[in-house]
Structures are given as structure tokens and as C-alpha cells.
Structure 1
Amino acid sequence: MIKICFMMPRHMDTLLLVVDEGSFEAAAARLGVSPSAVSQRIKALEADVGRVVVRRTSPVGVTDAGEVLIQTARRMRLLESETDDRLRGRLGERPVSVGVNADSLGTWFRPVLTHVADVGGISLELNLEDEQHSLAMLRRGDCMGVVTAEAEPVAGCVVEELGSLHYWPVGAPDLADELQAARNVHGEDAWASLPLLVIGPHDRMTDGVLEPRGVTPRPGRRVSRIPSFEGLNDAVVAGLGWTLVPVASARPYVEAGTMVRLAEDVIEVPLYWQHWRLESDTLGVLTDAVHAAAALGLSS
């Protein structure tokens, strides 16, 4: 039976600092102790749980066991903060870390910010990550909740349906003309060499347009990475390439003639809210806000 160190919060706090700061030395500087003292605390924690929790790399890495402890430590911090607030009869500042994809943040998720501001007492930290890869932040304990396209729950977490975000494949008018001319000659293979826009290294959403057409992107195709929701729209209008844009965002551009739908496809991406399985006032406020925003901005 593994000995869980709830009675050794110093060791758990040290683990969080080592991971957040990236090294034993940086954690030691924050704590005002020597790197050797930090190392001893981590070794004591590892001895208690009977497993290695930190990889001694640069920056430090975390093992599977370490991820479990980090998630637990962050939950403990939140509950301690809420308990202290209740005992003192006040509402203190509670940090909340959320993972969300750029398309959601740029569209339906925005009312969440207003709701959290109205409630007060919550310091919100948003971490941008592709909806196909945001669960890693939940597993590491970096976030208490994430917007994700993955329906399979992470251990110790709850998954709740939000709705679907719909996308159009769009490009500038000149790019649409270029595609049509190429399709007249090469058919659907014309998509293979069309310049592409992505928001990040994990962005593969345009595969939803290419794969049904049996199209394989050609080597050397121009791909531009624009790590900004608004910047991606600007890049489409500028003619830098084509991409998928949420319908609610693309519609005004299409109506104005600055974007053109390159096909009649509507790509549907189901989204879910995954969060810690924890009775927490702060998490409850956040979850209610996410569901309210999704009810207004996503398709059921």
C-alpha cells in the first residue's frame, strides 16, 4: 500500500515548485533553501510513495506517478484556499487554470470571462492548446479543467458534453479562383498544393476536408503557422492560405466578400468539458460558466 503524504505538505509544495520552475536550483531559490535540501525533500516523497516522481532532466520531467501527485497537490491547494476563506468569512483570491483552444476562446468561450469577472475573487489563467491535445495539461495537473475534443475521461476527472463547433473551409477570393482553376484541370487533387494556414503544430483540422476527397498534401506545400485566432482570420483575408474558421467568425467575412467558402463542407467538432472530480465552490462557478456559454455559442 502506497503511503500518501498528506501529512507532508512541504514535500508536495516542493514538488510543485520543482515542476513549475523547471529545476531544483530554481525551486531552491524560490524557497530560500539549498538545491540539496530540495533534492532531499523530493527523495523523501519518492521514498514514501515507492516510485520515482521526477526525472532529473533539464528542464525536469515528471513520471506518471509524479503527474498523479501534482494533480493531487494542486487540488489540495485549492481546497486549502477555499477552507481558509470560509473560516475567515471572506472571499480571497483563488487561482484557476483552464485549458482552452484558440477557436473556442475567440468565439463561444468569451462569456466565461465576463462571468468569472462578475463573481470576483478568481484569478483566471488560460492555457491555449489544441482541443485534440489539451488533456495532457489535465493529466499533469496544470489545469483544473479543459475544453477538449476527447470524450474519454482522464483518471480522477469528469467529462461533460458541451456541444459542437462548426467550421467552414475558407480562403481569400483570389485563392478561391486559383483553386477552381486548378480543379478544372486536376480535379480534387488541386487541394494538395493549396497554401495552408495552421494555428499551431498540432493543428490537423483541415484533414477533415482533404481525407474525404482522398487528397494527400504534396511535399513542399506552403504552410504558414499563425498562433492567433484573430491573426489567422487576417491571414486568410490577406490571401496567405486557406484554413477552417468557425462559422460564427467566418460568416461576416463571407458576407463582406473578403472570405470565400472553398467548399460546401461543414466540419463539426464535438467539444467536452473535462475537469477534476472535486467538490469545490471555485470549480463549480467555472463549470456553470462554461456550460452557460456553451449553451449560447455551440450547436447541440
Structure 2
Amino acid sequence: MNPVHLETLLAIVDEGSFEIAAAVLGVSPSAVSQRIKALEKETGRVLVRRTSPASATEAGQVLVQAARRMALLQAETRSRLQGRLERVPLSVAVNADSLATWFRPVLADVAGFEAATLRLHVEDEAHTLSLLRRGDVLGAITREATPVSGCDSTPLGIMRYRAVATPALRDAHTRGGVLDWATMPALRFGPNDALQDSDLEGRLDDSVRRHRAVSQIPSSEGFLEATRVGLGWSLIPELQAGPLLESGELALLDATVLQVPLHWQRWRLESELLERLTASVAAAASRLG
């Protein structure tokens, strides 16, 4: 297959459109379209969904994985042969809570790699693996221990969550010494946030859950602030909640600790940068215990 055609496919998937891919590649949109048509003719498959944003079909995802592997190895090879820095893209899927807490030292490490750029895809840890399967990323923080085909899986540790709220909100919804979970307003991170539902199992039946007052705050920092000011109760990582619990701004709602095991899955590929990235992720995750 023509490497230029694979590079073009990867640019379309990463940028989400033929036009932006053309600008990134420095060619005309017509040239991009012709390259994809040639690749589709060669494979006998439709590879790109002409939607907004553009995305790879199932057959296209197979080629995207190959293209991303090729791009990583080519960039590393050019850097070694030419004796100059070649920007190597490292695409990683990470959940928002990890990014806001233990994952941050990875950013500093990659800054010292010199020849690397980092592209983060933020998604719930229960859904990051789909990005790895599609070839959108070369590594992912995930709940799943079983490795995706062609990948290695490394356990990172346990992310621990506690149910917290402001003391005022807790007291306002405590009757006879018992917390009323049904009436207390709650917070969710986004539509894929299943942690709270898991935490409520055994406390509320499904019919009651659907009628609660729930605010959606799709930002880790905003989510923590919304909890701190009393917009609702939430599940917060212990790493984030600790200082606010110590200051008394937040209070624990019960003794339950929700534990989420995390794993690092990455392509099984001989790449110096990927090895360094893996070592960095493992070192940063030591905070999880």
C-alpha cells in the first residue's frame, strides 16, 4: 500500500475532515479525496465515513492502526538517521480523574523526551479501550485487564473514590440520623459516567434513581468545584478529596470506598518512545498504591 495514502487516511481520522487534513498535509482537498479513493479502490472497501466529523469504517480502522504504527516508527527512524529532532506523535486515551491527579507527572516526563508530542483523548476509563481498538491511540488507561489483540496490559493500581458533599448539604438531607440519598442533589461527570450508579446499588432502586436532581459537570476541576460549593454530592477520587476533607469544606457521606482498578494497555511494538512513555505512566501510577 502507498504510505502516502495511509498517511492521508490517518490525517483525515485525526483532524475529522478532508479539508483540514488537506491543510495539515499541505495539499489540496481534491488531492486528499483522490488518495482516499485510490486506497479504497486498492482495498475494495469503503474506508472513510463522509460524515462530520469524518471517521473510519471498520475496514478503515484496520488501516488506521497500521498507519499510526508506521508513523511512529518512521518518525523515530528519521530522527536517528538524520541526527535531528523529528516530532513523534504519542496518542493516549486517559480518563479525566487520572489526568487531574496521578497522571500529571507524565506530562512533565514527555516534555523531556524532546522528540515527542502528546495528544490526549479524554474519555471515561470504561470506554478508553474502544479508542485503542480503533487505532485512535497507541496506549490507554482502562479498567480492562485483558489485553486487546496486539497489545500488552500492565496493572497500574486502584483508583479510590469517596462519596462527599458539603456539611450543609449533608445535614439538610439527613433525617433521623439517616441520609436521604433520594432527595439529595447529585453530580455526574457526563453521560458515560457510571461510577455514581455503581455506588448507589443497594441504596436506591432504579425507579427512584431516575427522578433524582442530577447536575452534569463535564470537567474534572469544575466537578470538584461544584461539589465544594454544594451543587450536589459526588464521588471524588481520594487524591482530590483529601485536602478539602481536611479543611472541613467537604465531608464524607459514609465509609464506603469505591475501588476502580486501572490498567495501561499499549501496542506491542518495538519503539523506544513507547517504552519510555510506558515507564513514565507506571512511575506516575505509583501514587495509586
TM over 0.5: yes
Residue 45 (structure 1) shift:
1.4
Report the Cα distance in structure 1 between the residues aligned to 2:86 and 2:55, rounded to whole angstroms.
Answer: 32
Structure 2, unaligned runs of 5 or more: none
Once the two structures are superposed, the pairs formed by residues 82-161 of structure 1 within 5 Å of their partners are 82-161=76-155
Report the Cα distance in structure 1 between the residues aligned to 2:133 and 2:176, rounded to whole angstroms.
Answer: 45
Cα distance change of structure 1 residues 193 and 182 upon mapping to structure 2, 3 Å threshold = farther
Cα distance change of structure 1 residues 177 and 215 upon mapping to structure 2, 3 Å threshold = farther
Q: Which secondary structure does the structure 2 equivalent of 1:201 belong to?
A: coil
Q: Which secondary structure does the structure 2 equivalent of 1:108 belong to?
A: coil
Cα distance change of structure 1 residues 204 and 93 upon mapping to structure 2, 3 Å threshold = same
Residue 292 (structure 1) shift:
0.8
Cα distance change of structure 1 residues 54 and 254 upon mapping to structure 2, 3 Å threshold = same
Once the two structures are superposed, the pairs formed by residues 36-47 of structure 1 within 5 Å of their partners are 36-47=30-41
Residue 198 (structure 1) shift:
1.6
Matched to 1:234, the amino acid is: E
Residue 63 (structure 1) shift:
1.2
- Give yes or no for contact 2:181–2:204 (8 Å, CA) kept in 1: no
Once the two structures are superposed, the pairs formed by residues 1-300 of structure 1 within 5 Å of their partners are 5=1, 8-31=2-25, 33=27, 35-181=29-175, 184=178, 190-216=180-206, 217-295=208-286, 297-299=287-289
TM-score norm. by structure 2 comes to 0.91
Q: Could you tell which deviates more after superposition, 25-34 or 117-126?
A: 25-34
- Give yes or no for contact 1:191–1:215 (8 Å, CA) kept in 2: no
Report the Cα distance in structure 1 between the residues aligned to 2:40 and 2:252, rounded to whole angstroms.
Answer: 56
Report the Cα distance in structure 1 between the residues aligned to 2:18 and 2:82, rounded to whole angstroms.
Answer: 35
- Give yes or no for contact 2:173–2:183 (8 Å, CA) kept in 1: no
- Identity rate of aligned residues, in percent? 54
- Give yes or no for contact 2:182–2:204 (8 Å, CA) kept in 1: no
Partner deviation per Cα, 1:266-290 (whole Å, 9 max, x = no partner): 0000001011111101101100000
TM-score norm. by structure 1 comes to 0.88
Cα distance change of structure 1 residues 226 and 47 upon mapping to structure 2, 3 Å threshold = same
Matched to 1:24, the amino acid is: F
Matched to 2:184, the amino acid is: L
Partner deviation per Cα, 1:210-256 (whole Å, 9 max, x = no partner): 11324334444222222222222211110000111111221221121
Residue 34 (structure 1) shift:
5.1
Report the Cα distance in structure 1 between the residues aligned to 2:97 and 2:29, rounded to whole angstroms.
Answer: 42
Structure 1, unaligned runs of 5 or more: none
